Amino acid sequence: MITLNHLEKRYGNTAAVRDLSLTFPDASITALLGPSGCGKTTTLRMINRLIEPTSGQVLLDGQDTGQLKPEVLRRGIGYVIQQIGLFPHLSVAQNVATVPDLLGRNRAQTARRVDELLALVGLEPAVYRAKRPAELSGGQAQRVGVARALAADPPVLLMDEPFGALDPIARDEVQERFLGIQAELKKTVVIVSHDIDEALRMGDYVALMRAGELEQFGTPDDLVKRPASEFVRQFLGDDANLRQLAGVPVREFARPGSAADAASLPRVEAATNTRTALALMLRAGSERAAIWDGETLVGVVGFADLLRAEAEAPTAAGRAP
């Protein structure tokens, strides 16, 4: 668990981060969202002390990070950046093995771990192990970046606009892949983003910042349906509800349906996000769709169900943390 206590960072007379107190819940993804210059990247970099706070504390599982040597602290935290930052003179395997090597882990063990992680991020070890970063596409490179961050199995992962340098298709794929990894590994992840879609889709929780201060902290649902201020509402925009739906798999809205009924409806995979499901329904010209998980019928969903879900229990449609 990461706790920020009255964290502050001043540069001369300006405060980049002002009296920030926040707890990042365990085993979840928290998105630090906000406009440019709101202090989200500064906050992230204060967690692993790439930037030293002017005042305040960062507690990692109760321990004050200020007491540790910065290098020791950082080796226990995964770090993924927008420019990816792979080492061009090393192979993919050597890149991924960076932190375990720094920690002096056993070579054979590290090699196994590297293969394990490459497979986890969807890159076949035998093919990618010996490649150089220059031979990789942007999406592949960032996957290696994620594998590298996870190599020493840190409990915490810090990501600074990790998918910003990728084209939209690659970004979508890697985001999807990352959510799958997170479902398995359950790390405490802090991800900085200025992309509302990304934050609402990836985040189990969202911390919206503005001018160095926290505007609102909550689940995407909280921010969309119960914005704490006008700023939050305006920032998330008029299509906030649709954006939020992009983070929810359509199976959450499934209602029981008969096979006969389902046969006449357009088909949607259970894992598809709800916004895409809506788009598919629009394309098919149908108010309802059948949700399938492979060959198994999960249920049916219709536009009316979505409306009803919004009106009824507001948190029922949110993803379970």
Partner 1 sequence: MSAPALNVPGESAPLRPARLSSDLRTVLVLACLPMLAALLLPWVLLRPNRIAPGEALHLPGLSLAVGVLLALALPLSARFAPRLLGLFSSLALSAGFWWLGTQTTAALVGQLPFARASASSGLWLWLLGAAVGSYGASLAARSRAERLSGWLWLLPLVWWVFSGFFLHWSVVVEGQAERERLLQEFFQHLWLVGVALGLALVLGGPLAVWASRRASVAGAVLSVAGGVQTIPSLALLGLLIAPFSALSTAFPVLRDLGIRGIGVAPALTAMTLYALLPVLRNGVVALTGVSAGALDAARGMGMTDAQRFWRVQLPLALPVWLTGVRQAAVLLMGVAAIASQIGAGGLGVYIFKGLQSSAADLILLGAIPAVLLAVAINALLRGLEELLARRLGRV
Binding footprint of partner 1 on the chain (CB under 8 A): 48, 50, 70-77, 79, 81-89, 98-99, 102, 132-135, 145, 148-149, 158
Residues 150, 148: Cα–Cα separation, whole Å = 5
Q: Smallest distance from the beta carbon of 75 to partner 1, in angstroms?
A: 3
Minimum distance from CB of 102 to partner 1 (Å)?
Answer: 6
**How many whole angstroms from its chain centre is CA 9?**
25
Shortest CB 79 distance to partner 1, Å? 4
The residue among 75 and 113 lying less far from partner 1, judged by its C-beta, is: 75
Measured from the CB atom, the residue of 87 and 271 that comes closer to partner 1 is 87
Whether the Cβ atoms of residue 56 and residue 20 lie closer than 8 Å to each other? yes
What's the CA angle centered on 201, arms 8 and 146, to 5 degrees?
Answer: 70
| Closer residue to partner 1 (CB): 73 or 281 | 73
Q: Which residues pair with 12 in a beta bridge?
A: none
3-state secondary structure of 247: coil
Residue 316 DSSP symbol: G
Beta-carbon contacts of 77 under 8 Å, excluding residues fewer than 6 positions away, are 47, 48, 154, 156, 157, 158
- Residue with smaller CB distance to partner 1, 85 or 122: 85
Query: Of 103 and 271, which CB lies nearer to partner 1 in the complex structure?
Result: 103
- Residue 71 or 184: the one with the smaller Cβ distance to partner 1 is 71
Nearest Cα residue to 107 out of 93, 121, 124, 119: 93
Q: How far is the CB of 292 from partner 1 (least distance, A)?
A: 42
We find the least distance from the C-beta atom of residue 225 to partner 1, in angstroms, to be 36
Instruction: Pinpoint the alpha helices (H) of the chain.
Output: 40-47, 70-75, 92-96, 98-102, 107-120, 125-128, 138-150, 168-185, 196-202, 220-225, 230-236, 240-245, 259-263, 274-284, 303-311
Nearer to partner 1, 22 or 84 (CB): 84
Quote the least distance from Cβ 98 to partner 1, whole Å. Answer: 6
In angstroms, what is the minimal distance from the CB of 80 to partner 1? 8
Cα–Cα distance, 246 to 306 (Å, whole number): 13
